[in-house]
A and B are shown apart, each in its own frame.
Chain A
Amino acid sequence: MPEQSLRTVRISLALMTFASYLALATTDSFGPEIALVPLLLIGLMPVFERFDAARPMYRRVTHILTLGFTIFIIPMLVQNLITGLMTILLYIQTYLFLHRKGVREYRYLFLMAFFLLVAAVAQSPDPAFGLVMPLFVLSAVWAFASVQIYAETVANAQGNIADLLPQTGRRGFLPPEIAQWVTGAKRDTVNVAPMLAVLSLGCVMVTLVFFMFTPRMEAGVFGRSNILNQPLRSGLDEGVNLSRGGTIAGDEETVFLARFPREATGKPPTDDTGGIYWRVTSYNKLVGDEWSRDPGELEFHEWRTRDRGVLERVTAGQGNRLVEQEIFLESTTDRVGVPAMPLLTKIIPPDGTRFLPDDWDPFTIRIGRSSSQSFSYQAISELLEFTEGELSSAPANYAEEFTRNRNLTVYTSHRLSGRSAALARNLTANLDSPYEKALAIEAYLQSTEFLYTNTLEELPEDDPVDAFLFVRKAGHCELYASSMCMLVRSLGIPARVASGYKTTAFDWSEDDGGYIVRKRNAHLWVEVYLIGVGWRLFDPSGILEMDNSLLARLQRWFTRNVLNLKIMYYRDIVGFNSGIDLGNLISFSIGLVRFDVETMRSALPSLGMFAQGLPRAMLILALALAAFWGLFVMYRSAALRRRHAAIVQFTEDQIRATRMYSQLKRRLHALGVNGHTIGARELFSEVESNLPEQRETVLSLVQTYNDARFGGRPLNKEHYIRLVRDVRGIRKPRPAK
Chain B
Amino acid sequence: MFKSTRKSRRRLTRTGQVFVVCALLALLASWNSGINLYYLIFGAIGSFLFFSFILSRRGLMHLEVAREAPMAVNRFEPFGILVRITNKRQFLPVSSIRCENADARGESTGYVLAIPPGRVAQVRTTQQFTRRGRRLLPAIDLVTSFPFGLIEARRRFDIETEVLVYPRVLAARTALIDQLRGNGELPKVAQGPGDEFFSLREYVPGDDLRFISWRASARTGTLLVKELEQQTARYVVIVFDSRLRQDVEDFYERFEESVELIASIAVTLLNRQFKVAIVTPTLILPDGEGTAQTLKVLELLARIEPAEPTAADPFWRAAQEDDPRRTSILMVSPDPAQWGEIRSGGNVRVLDPREVIHA
A residues engaging B (CB < 8 A)?
Answer: 1, 107, 111, 114, 117-118, 121, 125, 129, 133, 136-137, 140-141, 144-145, 147-149, 151-153, 155-156, 159-165, 167, 171-174, 179-180, 182-185, 190, 192, 195-196, 199, 202-204, 206-211, 214, 216-223, 226
Q: Using A156-B111, A160-B108 as known contacts, say yes or no to A208 and B43 having CB atoms under 8 A apart.
A: yes
What distance in Å separates the Cβ of B21 from its nearest Cβ neighbour in chain A?
Answer: 11
| Residue of B with least CB distance to A156 | B111
Q: Which residues on the A side are within 8 Å of B112 (C-beta)?
A: 161-162
Q: Interface with A: B46-54, B337-345, B350-358, which one?
A: B46-54
A163 to B92, CA, bound (A): 18
Q: Among B32, B44, B110, which residue has its beta carbon within 8 angstroms of that of A219?
A: B32
CB within 8 Å of A: which B47-93 residues: 47-48, 50-51, 84-85, 90-93
Q: Among A125, A182, A207, which residue has its beta carbon within 8 angstroms of that of B43?
A: A207
Residue B121 lies at the interface, judged by CB distance under 8 Å to chain A = yes
Q: Which residues on the A side are within 8 Å of B91 (C-beta)?
A: 172, 174, 182-183
Q: Are A210 and B48 in contact (CB under 8 A)?
A: no
Q: Are A210 and B111 in contact (CB under 8 A)?
A: no
Q: Are B37 and A125 in contact (CB under 8 A)?
A: yes
Residue B149 lies at the interface, judged by CB distance under 8 Å to chain A = yes
A145 to B96, CA, bound (A): 10
What distance in Å separates the Cβ of A19 from its nearest Cβ neighbour in chain B?
Answer: 12
29 A-B pairs within 8 Å (CB atoms) are namely A121-B35, A121-B37, A133-B40, A141-B147, A144-B15, A144-B148, A144-B149, A148-B147, A152-B96, A156-B111, A159-B124, A160-B108, A160-B123, A162-B85, A162-B121, A163-B123, A173-B90, A174-B91, A179-B117, A192-B96, A192-B113, A199-B147, A203-B48, A209-B43, A214-B46, A216-B39, A218-B34, A220-B34, A221-B31
Q: Are A160 and B93 in contact (CB under 8 A)?
A: no
| Residue of A with least CB distance to B26 | A118
Q: Are B110 and A206 in contact (CB under 8 A)?
A: no
Q: Among B39, B120, B123, which residue has its beta carbon within 8 angstroms of that of A211?
A: B39
What distance in Å separates the Cβ of B94 from its nearest Cβ neighbour in chain A?
Answer: 10
Of A148, A203, A217, most buried by chain B (CB within 10 Å of CB) is: A148
What distance in Å separates the Cβ of A622 from its nearest Cβ neighbour in chain B?
Answer: 46
Residue B310 lies at the interface, judged by CB distance under 8 Å to chain A = no
Q: Are B121 and A117 in contact (CB under 8 A)?
A: no
Q: Using A185-B119, A196-B147, A219-B33 as known contacts, say yes or no to A211 and B43 having CB atoms under 8 A apart.
A: yes
| Residue of A with least CB distance to B146 | A148
A156 to B84, CA, bound (A): 17
Q: Are B48 and A144 in contact (CB under 8 A)?
A: yes
Q: Which residues on the B side are within 8 Å of A217 (C-beta)?
A: 31, 34
What distance in Å separates the Cβ of A216 from its nearest Cβ neighbour in chain B?
Answer: 8
Q: Are B31 and A222 in contact (CB under 8 A)?
A: yes
Q: Which residues on the B side are within 8 Å of A203 (C-beta)?
A: 44, 47-48, 51
| Residue of B with least CB distance to A205 | B47
Q: Are B116 and A151 in contact (CB under 8 A)?
A: no
Q: Are A160 and B109 in contact (CB under 8 A)?
A: yes
| Residue of B with least CB distance to A188 | B119
Q: Using A190-B115, A206-B51, A220-B32 as known contacts, say yes or no to A214 and B145 having CB atoms under 8 A apart.
A: no
Q: Which residues on the A side are within 8 Å of B116 (C-beta)?
A: 164, 179-180, 183-185, 190
Determine chain A's interface SS by DSSP, over half rule: helix
Q: Which residues on the A side are within 8 Å of B36 (C-beta)?
A: 211
Q: Using A164-B115, A203-B51 as known contacts, say yes or no to A144 and B122 having CB atoms under 8 A apart.
A: no
Q: Are A129 and B32 in contact (CB under 8 A)?
A: no
Q: Which residues on the A side are within 8 Å of B148 (C-beta)?
A: 141, 144-145, 148
What distance in Å separates the Cβ of A132 from its nearest Cβ neighbour in chain B?
Answer: 11
Q: Which residues on the A side are within 8 Å of B109 (C-beta)?
A: 160
Q: Which residues on the B side are within 8 Å of A208 (C-beta)?
A: 43
Q: Are B117 and A199 in contact (CB under 8 A)?
A: no
A220 to B15, CA, bound (A): 30
Q: Among B15, B32, B113, which residue has its beta carbon within 8 angstroms of that of A107?
A: B15
Q: Are A183 and B33 in contact (CB under 8 A)?
A: no
| Residue of A with least CB distance to B30 | A214
Task: Give me 14 other A-B pairs in contact (C-beta within 8 A), A152-B96, A153-B111, A165-B120 excluded.
Answer: A107-B15, A121-B37, A137-B44, A137-B47, A160-B108, A174-B91, A184-B116, A185-B93, A192-B96, A192-B114, A196-B147, A211-B42, A214-B46, A216-B31
Q: Are B34 and A172 in contact (CB under 8 A)?
A: no
Q: Are B118 and A172 in contact (CB under 8 A)?
A: yes
What distance in Å separates the Cβ of B138 from its nearest Cβ neighbour in chain A?
Answer: 16
What distance in Å separates the Cβ of A154 from its nearest Cβ neighbour in chain B?
Answer: 10
A600 to B44, CA, bound (A): 69
A11 to B47, CA, bound (A): 22
A296 to B150, CA, bound (A): 61
Q: Are A172 and B119 in contact (CB under 8 A)?
A: no
What distance in Å separates the Cβ of B86 from its nearest Cβ neighbour in chain A?
Answer: 9
Residue B255 lies at the interface, judged by CB distance under 8 Å to chain A = no
Q: Are B123 and A162 in contact (CB under 8 A)?
A: yes
| Residue of A with least CB distance to B118 | A171
Residue B331 lies at the interface, judged by CB distance under 8 Å to chain A = no
Q: Which residues on the A side are within 8 Å of B50 (C-beta)?
A: 206, 210
A114 to B146, CA, bound (A): 21
Residue B173 lies at the interface, judged by CB distance under 8 Å to chain A = no
Q: Which residues on the B side are within 8 Å of A125 (C-beta)?
A: 37
A533 to B126, CA, bound (A): 99
What distance in Å separates the Cβ of A711 from its nearest Cβ neighbour in chain B?
Answer: 48
Q: Which residues on the B side are within 8 Å of A220 (C-beta)?
A: 32, 34
| Residue of A with least CB distance to B90 | A172
Residue B98 lies at the interface, judged by CB distance under 8 Å to chain A = yes
Q: Are A214 and B37 in contact (CB under 8 A)?
A: no
What distance in Å separates the Cβ of B58 from its nearest Cβ neighbour in chain A?
Answer: 13
Q: Which residues on the B side are within 8 Å of A172 (C-beta)?
A: 90-91, 117-118
A220 to B146, CA, bound (A): 38
Q: Among A111, A190, A222, which residue has its beta carbon within 8 angstroms of that of B28?
A: A222
Of A156, A179, A180, most buried by chain B (CB within 10 Å of CB) is: A156
Q: Are A210 and B47 in contact (CB under 8 A)?
A: yes
